[in-house]
C-alpha cells in the first residue's frame, strides 16, 4: 500500500469525521433554537399548603386531580394525615430545587418538537401518589404528571419492600427517561406483538426513540441499567443472539418468553446457572435496540417512519450483526 494512498485515506477519514461533527453540531443547534420554556407546576407543594378557604381555588385550577366522588373534607383530612405529611416532607427535601430536571425536560420537549413538529409542550405538574411506582409518570396531549414520591433515591426508606431491580429506577435522574418512554408509547405503532421478535422490535423502537430525544442521558440510563449491566450486555451480545437463534425463540409465541427476556426482572432467564446470575434483565429489549440501530444505519428513513414499520420489515432490512 503506497504512502500516497495512505495519506489520501487519512484525509478522507478526517473529512468524514469533520462532516459528521458538523452534522451533529447543526442538529444540536437546530434543536436548541426551538427553545421550549417549561414552568413546573408544583401541585405537591400547593396541596401540602392548602387551607379550607383556598381548596376551591386549587380544585378549579387542577380539576383532573380531584375526584368528584370525594367531598372537600376528604381532601383536607388527607392533607393533614401523618403519613402524607412525612411524604410531603421527604419530597420537599429531595426536590427543594427543580432547575436541573426542568432543563432536561425542556431539552426533551425541544427534541420532540424537532422530530414531531405537531408536538405541543404540555403543562408539567408534580404530585405525590402514595409511592405508586407503577404509575410514576402520566402524559396526555396537554399535561404531563410526575409523581415525585417515586423518585426519592433507590435507597430511600419508603422503598424497603420494593424489589431491588425496581428500586434502581426510583431516583430523580430517571424522571426525564421515564417521560421519554411515556411519549414513545404515543408515537410507536406496531399492529401486533405475538412473538419474541415483535416484543424485541417494539422495545428496540422505544430505546432508539430515547436515543433521539434524550441524547444527553447515558446509554445505561436510557435502558435503565447500571454501567456494569450495560457492559455485560455488550460483552455477551453475540452469545445472547446465538442463544435466541439456535433455540428458535425469535418467532416463538410462548407466553413465558417475555417474562424471561423482555419484562422487568432481576436477571434474564437462560436457564443456565453460570449465565443467569450475572445477566441483567430485559436482554431481549437490549438486542431489539441494537437491531433498530442497525436498521436506521442501513436505511434512509426518518425516526417517525421507523416507529410505524412492522417488525418483519425492520428485521429483514436491518443487516443486524451482533458485536463480537
pLDDT digits (tens, 9 = 90+) for 147-158: 999 999 999 999
Whether the predicted pLDDT of 267 surpasses 80: yes
Check residue 30 and give its pLDDT.
Answer: 84
Whether the predicted pLDDT of 17 surpasses 70: no
Lowest mean pLDDT among 22-26, 69-73, 123-127, 147-151: 22-26
Check residue 199 and give its pLDDT.
Answer: 97
Grid cell locating 203 = 422495545
Higher pLDDT, 3 or 145: 145
Whether the predicted pLDDT of 259 surpasses 70: yes
Whether the predicted pLDDT of 24 surpasses 70: no
Check residue 21 and give its pLDDT.
Answer: 52
| Residues whose CB falls within 8 Å of the CB of residue 183, separated by 6 or more in sequence, listed in order | 108, 112, 139, 209, 213
Whether the predicted pLDDT of 159 surpasses 80: yes
Give the predicted TM-score (pTM) of the model. 0.90
**Residue 85: how many CB atoms within 10 A of its CB?**
12
Q: Please write down the HEC assignment for all residues of the chain.
A: CCHHHHHHHHHHHHHHHHHHHHHHHHHHHHHHCCCCCCCEEEHHHHHHCCCCCCHHHHHHHCHHHCCCCCCHHHHHHHHHCHHHHHHHHHHHHHCCCCHHHHHHHHHHHHHHHHHCCCCCCCEEEEECCCCCHHHCEEECCCEEEEEHHHCECCCCHHHCCCCHHHHCCCEHHHHHHHHHHHHHHHHCCCCCCCCHHHHHHHHHHHHHHHHHHCCCCCHHHHHCCCHHHHHHHHHCHHHHHHHHHHCCCCCCCCCCHHHHHCCCCCCCCCCCHHHHCCCCCCHHHHHHHHHHHHHHHHCCCCHHHHCCCCHHHHHHCCCCCCCC
Amino acid at each position: 500500500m503506497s504512502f500516497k494512498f495512505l495519506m489520501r485515506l487519512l484525509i478522507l477519514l478526517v473529512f468524514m469525521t469533520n462532516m459528521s461533527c458538523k452534522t451533529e453540531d447543526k442538529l444540536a443547534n437546530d434543536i436548541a433554537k426551538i427553545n421550549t420554556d417549561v414552568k413546573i407546576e408544583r401541585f405537591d407543594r400547593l396541596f401540602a399548603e392548602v387551607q379550607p378557604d383556598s381548596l376551591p381555588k386549587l380544585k378549579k385550577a387542577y380539576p383532573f386531580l380531584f375526584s368528584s366522588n370525594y367531598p372537600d373534607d376528604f381532601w383536607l383530612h388527607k392533607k393533614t394525615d401523618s403519613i402524607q405529611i412525612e411524604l410531603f416532607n421527604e419530597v420537599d427535601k429531595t426536590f427543594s430545587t427543580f432547575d436541573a430536571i426542568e432543563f432536561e425536560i425542556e431539552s426533551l420537549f425541544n427534541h420532540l418538537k424537532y422530530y414531531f413538529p405537531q408536538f405541543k409542550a404540555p403543562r408539567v405538574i408534580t404530585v405525590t401518589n402514595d409511592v405508586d411506582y407503577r404509575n410514576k409518570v402520566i402524559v396526555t396531549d396537554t399535561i404531563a404528571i410526575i409523581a415525585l414520591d417515586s423518585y426519592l433515591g433507590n435507597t430511600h426508606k419508603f422503598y424497603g419492600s420494593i424489589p431491588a431491580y425496581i428500586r434502581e429506577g426510583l431516583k430523580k435522574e430517571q424522571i426525564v427517561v421515564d417521560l421519554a418512554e411515556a411519549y414513545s408509547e404515543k408515537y410507536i405503532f406496531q399492529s401486533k406483538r405475538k412473538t419474541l421478535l415483535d416484543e424485541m422490535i417494539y422495545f428496540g423502537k422505544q430505546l432508539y426513540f430515547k436515543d433521539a430525544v434524550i441524547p444527553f442521558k447515558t446509554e445505561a440510563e436510557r435502558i435503565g441499567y447500571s454501567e456494569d449491566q450495560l457492559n455485560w450486555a455488550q460483552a455477551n451480545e453475540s452469545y445472547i443472539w446465538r442463544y435466541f437463534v439456535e433455540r428458535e425463540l425469535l418467532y416463538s409465541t410462548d407466553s413465558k418468553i417475555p417474562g424471561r427476556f423482555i419484562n422487568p426482572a432481576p436477571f434474564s432467564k437462560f436457564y443456565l446457572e453460570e449465565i443467569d446470575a450475572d445477566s441483567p434483565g430485559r436482554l431481549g429489549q437490549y438486542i431489539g435496540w441494537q437491531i433498530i440501530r442497525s436498521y436506521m444505519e442501513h436505511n434512509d428513513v426518518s425516526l417517525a417512519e421507523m416507529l410505524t414499520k412492522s417488525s418483519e420489515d425492520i428485521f429483514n432490512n436491518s443487516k443486524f450483526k451482533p458485536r463480537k
